[in-house]
A and B are shown apart, each in its own frame.
Chain A
Amino acid sequence: MDSNLLNDLIQNALNRATLRTKAVLTGLMIAFSIAAITSLAIFQIAESYLTNQRIAIATSQVSVASRLVAQAIYDGNTPLDSLLTASNTFPNAQTAIRQNNEWFVSKAGFDIDEIPREIVNLVTEGTPARSVITFGENPAIAIAIPILINDATRYQFVGVVPTDELQRTLSLLQNVLLAGVIFSSIGGAFVGFWLSRRVSEPLHNVSEAAQRIAFGDLTIQIATPSEPDLKNIADTFNFMTKSLQNRIAREARFGAVVSHELKSPLTAIRGATDLLDSMRNELPKKATLSIDILNERVRYFERILNDLIEISRYESGTVQANLEELAIQPLLNALLNRDQRAHIQLIDSSSSKHSIALVDSKRFQQIFENLVSNADAYAQGLSAIRIEESDKQIIIHFDDAGIGISKDIENVIFDPFFRAPQHSAHPGSGLGLTISKEHANIMGGDLTVVKSPDGGARFSLFLRRPEDLS
């Protein structure tokens, strides 16, 4: 696979992941914000309401107690310290009373210093006061009420009402709201995930389909999702592949017609030229010159036409390989002998002398002929042919000792119509290597070029080994 394409694929995957992550994060943030703000508001309203309620109740309880205490002092039947125990009319509440700077408390351990100084001062001046305090590490409300007997004797009555059950209610509410925030955030994230999936899945399908099209599969159609927006994308995409398919089919038909229309007259011209050639002894010298020119040009025309037809067939994707399992070394030997090139060294370093590859013999011959004739034209011929093998492939190196192929040309040498500038003197279409590489690809292999150990260029033909033999 092309490394650029691989990069694109990875980039694609990253982008897709980011989209999803973004959606998840966005969902999470939105849900979190809404839930957090709502919860905070609920909590504050509830807290202030419940606290005020509690203060009001506590205040009325303490004031009732203070009136009872005042009545008892007025009656004068009960000493102050036992009075407080009796006035302790609601559970957990504690009271204290001061007469002439002496504090009497309802319960041992009531530390009067825990009552804030301000409210003590206020009540001493005759003003009722209250404050939310911490009493023995517990939350409580302290309420101070002045008691006046006969407009003369002043007492200060303090009631401390614990509010820990209010705190428990509030902290329970807090926990419930917090759990609500967490669950809605997770829910939001899930919604984001689900939404992104719903959107990205059809897009993912489209990109996958586009990749398959890039590799030449035009039969692909993507399933139409129900959402109108996404359906549009899918429909447009399917329409695009259909018209591409039609266009390629049209081009293939065009190619077939053109090649047939050109080949028929060329066959006649070739035959007629050959006929003339066979009668050259009976013709004047100038006529034989014409025959030679015709002969040469017709052959050149034929070669170019065949190359063009071949490349157009590859481009339209109508080529099918006729693969068979062939032993490579005997095949190369036969070709070398046929072309009187037995002097080219054939070095087989594969483990078995009959390494078998999947080969289309006709295309293999064309690759061989192309590489051999290129080496003849540009590098004084091949220096050696080397056979190697790997687990899954047989590799044939066509090495020469010529000037080699420069790095900047390596990348474009297989492009259609590419011709090295210094080689413009040699006749050729610049399609030979393109077709050879296509041939290699259609056989499931590849054709590459690197530097040869003999100093020149090395064209390496990779061929697939049959799977059960590799």
Chain B
Amino acid sequence: MLLIEDDPSIRQVISAALEIEGYVVHQFSDGESAVAEIAQVEPDVAIIDLRLPGINGLEVVRTIRPMTYAPLVILTAFGDSHDVVAALEAGADDFLSKPIANKELAARIRAILRRNRPPLNENPDTSDFRYENLVLSPLRREASIDGELIELTNTEFLVLLELMRISPNAATRQDLLEKVWGYDYLGDSRLIDMQIYRLRGKLAQHGLKDHLITVRGHGFKLAK
């Protein structure tokens, strides 16, 4: 696991709390050194403080998003600032508000990792899902349209998996937050909106346009 946080006391405390839980934490105090070493670290999850000296958290997210499928979690003192929206747009998967209880932090990381580890699906049936010409294989963690692979982050993959699993029914925002992010209560729906937005873009690139539909007051579904 990767942790980028410039405040040494916060960094040490978070590291200690996560290490007690048994995680290996690679600590960085600035964005540049973290970006330089992410290829070696190959983290399962990255926790990134938004306010960093040098390149800020937002830039870090933009830079490492193409380098890893791993969930990127933003750490911020401002839960609903524009920075958070910008970070989600840049490809962050989740965010944590400071101050955060160690237990809550550990629980969130656990939830994120549990859902991102192979076979990526708690459903014992690991056969492929199909919708139109879109095929999704939980076992191989692959999505393709007409045999052409779609590059998806883990979170995007999980959202798509959930939507395909229950298609033609609609998934509520709450379902998605629970199944993909592991929120056992109502999370921030901006998380979903951003993933849906990115998914729509990627599906459209492969010729599957206007199939990911918003159901008003409810959620989303895959349909024509």
User: Interface residues, chain A, CB within 8 Å of chain B?
Assistant: 256, 259-260, 263-272, 274-275, 278, 302, 322, 324-327, 330-331, 334-335, 338, 354, 356, 361-362, 365, 466, 469
Contact A264 B190 (CB under 8 A): no
* Chain A residues near B20 (CB-CB < 8 A): 275, 278
Closest residue of A by beta carbon distance from B16: A275
Contact A330 B172 (CB under 8 A): yes
Complex formed: what's the CA distance from A356 to B218 in Å? 9
* Chain B residues near A265 (CB-CB < 8 A): 9
Per CB-CB distance, the 7 closest pairs between chain A and chain B, nearest first, are: A271-B13, A356-B217, A274-B102, A268-B9, A267-B99, A263-B77, A270-B99
A260, A267, A338, A466, most chain B CB atoms within 10 A: A267
* Chain A residues near B16 (CB-CB < 8 A): 271, 275
- A271 with B99, Cβ < 8 A, contacts A322-B190, A334-B174 known: yes
Contact A275 B172 (CB under 8 A): no
Closest residue of B by beta carbon distance from A354: B217
Complex formed: what's the CA distance from A265 to B10 in Å? 8
- Select A260's contact among B10, B51, B172, beta carbons within 8 Å: B51
B80 within 8 A of A: yes
B17 within 8 A of A: yes
Contact A266 B185 (CB under 8 A): no
Closest residue of B by beta carbon distance from A469: B216
For residue A338, give the distance in angstroms from its CB to the closest CB of chain B.
4
Complex formed: what's the CA distance from A274 to B80 in Å? 25
- Select A331's contact among B98, B186, B188, beta carbons within 8 Å: B186
- Select B216's contact among A267, A269, A356, beta carbons within 8 Å: A356
Residues facing A in B8-28 (CB within 8 A) are 9-10, 13-14, 16-17, 20
B184 within 8 A of A: yes
* Chain A residues near B169 (CB-CB < 8 A): none
Contact A325 B185 (CB under 8 A): no
Closest residue of B by beta carbon distance from A327: B217
Complex formed: what's the CA distance from A270 to B103 in Å? 11
- Select B100's contact among A259, A270, A324, A327, beta carbons within 8 Å: A270
Closest residue of B by beta carbon distance from A337: B185
For residue A264, give the distance in angstroms from its CB to the closest CB of chain B.
5
Contact A338 B17 (CB under 8 A): no
- A259 with B101, Cβ < 8 A, contacts A354-B217, A362-B188 known: no
* Chain A residues near B188 (CB-CB < 8 A): 361-362
Contact A275 B17 (CB under 8 A): yes
- A334 with B80, Cβ < 8 A, contacts A271-B99, A275-B17 known: no
Contact A302 B99 (CB under 8 A): yes
Closest residue of B by beta carbon distance from A278: B20
Complex formed: what's the CA distance from A362 to B78 in Å? 13
Complex formed: what's the CA distance from A278 to B184 in Å? 23
Residues facing A in B192-209 (CB within 8 A) are 193
B189 within 8 A of A: yes
B210 within 8 A of A: no
Q: B91-105 CB contact bits vs A (8 Å, 1 = yes)?
A: 000000011111100
Contact B217 A271 (CB under 8 A): no
For residue A78, give the distance in angstroms from its CB to the closest CB of chain B.
121
Closest residue of A by beta carbon distance from B104: A274
For residue B91, give the distance in angstroms from its CB to the closest CB of chain A.
19
Contact B99 A338 (CB under 8 A): no
B7 within 8 A of A: yes
* Chain A residues near B193 (CB-CB < 8 A): 324
For residue A311, give the distance in angstroms from its CB to the closest CB of chain B.
15
Complex formed: what's the CA distance from A189 to B189 in Å? 63
Q: What are 30 A-B residue pairs whose CB atoms fall within 8 Å in the complex? A: A260-B78, A263-B77, A263-B99, A264-B7, A266-B99, A267-B7, A267-B10, A267-B13, A267-B98, A270-B100, A270-B102, A271-B10, A271-B13, A271-B17, A271-B99, A274-B13, A274-B17, A275-B13, A275-B20, A278-B17, A278-B102, A302-B99, A324-B189, A326-B173, A335-B185, A338-B186, A356-B217, A361-B188, A365-B186, A466-B216
- Select A274's contact among B7, B103, B184, beta carbons within 8 Å: B103
Query: Beyond the given A356-B217, A365-B186, could you list 19 further A-B residue pairs with CB under 8 A, ordered by the A residue number?
Result: A263-B77, A264-B7, A265-B9, A266-B98, A267-B7, A267-B77, A268-B10, A268-B13, A271-B17, A275-B17, A275-B102, A278-B102, A324-B189, A325-B217, A326-B217, A330-B172, A330-B174, A361-B189, A469-B216
* Chain B residues near A338 (CB-CB < 8 A): 184-186
For residue B153, give the distance in angstroms from its CB to the closest CB of chain A.
23
* Chain A residues near B14 (CB-CB < 8 A): 271
- Select B186's contact among A264, A270, A361, beta carbons within 8 Å: A361
Complex formed: what's the CA distance from A324 to B216 in Å? 9
For residue A298, give the distance in angstroms from its CB to the closest CB of chain B.
8
* Chain A residues near B13 (CB-CB < 8 A): 267-268, 271-272, 274-275
For residue A459, give the distance in angstroms from its CB to the closest CB of chain B.
20
* Chain B residues near A331 (CB-CB < 8 A): 186
Residues facing A in B65-80 (CB within 8 A) are 77-80
Closest residue of A by beta carbon distance from B81: A256
